[in-house]
Amino acid sequence: MLTPSTDDDSQPRPGCGPLLPTGSANAKPMRQQIFEHVRAAGRATRTETTRMLGISAGSATALTADLIQAGLLREVETIPREAGRGRPAVALEVVADTYFVIGIKLSEEMHSAVLTDFAGNTLGTATLSTPPHPKSLDEILSEVGTLIEMVLNIAKKSQTDIAAVGIGMSGIVDHQSGTVPWSPLLALRDSDFAAHFEERFGLRLYLDNDANMLTLAELWFGAGRAKSDFAVVTIEHGVGMGLVIDNRLYRGARGMGLELGHTKVQLDGALCRCGQRGCLEAYLADYALAREAATALHHPPSERLSPKALLDALFAQAKSGNESAQTIFRRAGRYLSVGLANVVQLFDPALIIISGERMQYDYLYAEEVISEMHRLTLNNGRSACGVETHAWGDLIWARGATALALSALTDQVITEIS
């Protein structure tokens, strides 16, 4: 059986951001590549930078001078090579307190926030419990305002210190326009979320699907830092997916692609909360499992338990040998195998990371699930796609939202000094 990793047993590397340079023809300007390499490494000498990016020493010197003059990088002394053998080498590092950003994950029962500096260092975190029902845009923005105030107080910052905010939320989110065509968190469709946020708080907002935020967290802070191509599949209140190709988050032509949870696995099948039938999510997400748990555990309709309470009870029953409970998890595992096999056939990633709160249920990452995934794919003698499980908490999703804000803010700042 695969063993899921957690926040506690991971070994974070210094710096933040992708460690591998992009190989595409649409690579960022060299000045920005230098800045992002230094931030990813934590500290880097000019020699290391020229070797990694394949540029001349003269170009590195001129471009780093621009970044130093702009107040984005600074020189620091590293450990001496040997006692009495010359001066210490000079390295570069990001001036961390140049800018600050906030990343937020919105969810049905708890919102989370992380405040970081420009180097990606976490300065404060906060969580806010919320009523689990669809809300108006005004209601959810009020909750966001409370959360922002909480994390600012914890980090001892003011709102004027914040250069940008990143928010991830479940549903169909248009990253480019900042609108939300549909989300289970909102009572109405087609919400102009970013415009109302910016008008209310006076802060620049970058909005995206929460699965993309977790994918950015893996790319900037986790197992994806040293991989140029990988996929993340999330199983929580819904089923989501994020994809990195050549160190870049892939969103599709309209910015709303990779809705794995709403791919169809059975025509005229179970009802999904999106309103359609047969979606993968309708067989895997917590509300889908809770729907069957209520029947398997003989809970009367009058006994209202939260989906989490139902699932915890169902898992306990499965572990104690309840065949009906075990059947529900095994069935969900088979649908997960189908979904993962489809990801492999469509994108051929080097690695699939399965994450989310539901990964605490070991039936969903049992060897049978992964073996079934491999049986459903056409390997033809090639090495099989790697699979890892990461049982992250909500704060890592919010940290991924800081990466969204940091990335967009870096684009803007570097463009201004070009």
Mean pLDDT of successive 10-residue stretches along the chain, which has 418 residues: 40 78 74 95 93 91 95 84 62 96 94 98 97 93 98 98 96 92 94 97 96 94 90 87 91 78 90 90 86 76 70 85 87 91 92 81 77 87 83 85 97 90
Q: Quote the tokens at residue 405.
A: 């804000």
Domain limit, last residue, from 80, 95, 110? 95
Q: At what angle do helices 210-221 and 394-417 cross, to 10 degrees?
A: 70
- Within-domain flag for 23: no
DSSP letter at 158 equals -
Q: Of the residues 68, 95, 122, which one is the last residue of a structural domain?
A: 95
**Is 7 within the bounds of a domain?**
no
Within-domain flag for 90: yes
Report the phi/psi class of residue 352: left, alpha or beta, with left for phi > 0 and alpha for psi in -120 to 50.
beta
Same domain, 117 and 204: yes
Same-domain status, 72 and 84: yes
Q: Same structural domain for residues 294 and 329?
A: yes
Same domain for 312 and 257, yes or no, is: yes
In a domain, 18, yes or no: no
pLDDT of residue 24: 63
Same domain, 381 and 233: yes
Which CATH number goes with the domain that contains 61?
Answer: 1.10.10.10
Does some domain include residue 6?
no
pLDDT at 139: 97
Q: Contact 297/315 with Cβ under 8 angstroms? A: no
Q: What pLDDT sits at residue 292?
A: 82
The CATH number of residue 280's host domain is 3.30.420.40
Q: What is the pLDDT of residue 2?
A: 44
Q: In this structure, what token pair is assigned to residue 352?
A: 């699939």
Residue 233 lies in a domain: yes
**What are the residues whose beta carbons fall under 8 Å from the beta carbon of 220, sequence distance 6 or more?**
16, 17, 18, 120, 399, 400, 403, 406
Residue 168 belongs to some domain of the structure: yes
Pick from 332, 390, 392: which is nearest to 364 by CA? 332
Q: Which two tokens stand for residue 264?
A: 């169809």
Domain range enclosing 325: 225-393
Tokens, residue 388: 């890892």
Domain match, 295 and 406 both: no
Split into its structural domains, the chain has a count of 3
Run of H or E including 326: helix 323-347
Q: Are residues 246 and 294 in the same domain?
A: yes
Same domain, residue pair 253 and 371: yes
Residues 28-67: b if buried by 16+ CB within 10 A, e if exposed: beebbbbbbbbbbbeebbbebbbebbeeeeeebeebbebb
326 belongs to a structural domain: yes
pLDDT at 175: 92
> What is the largest distance, in Å, between two alpha-carbon atoms of the chain?
80
- Give dist(CA 22, CA 33) in Å, integer: 9
Distance, CA of 232 to CA of 198 (rounded, Å):
30
Task: Choose the final residue of a domain: 95, 113, 147.
Answer: 95
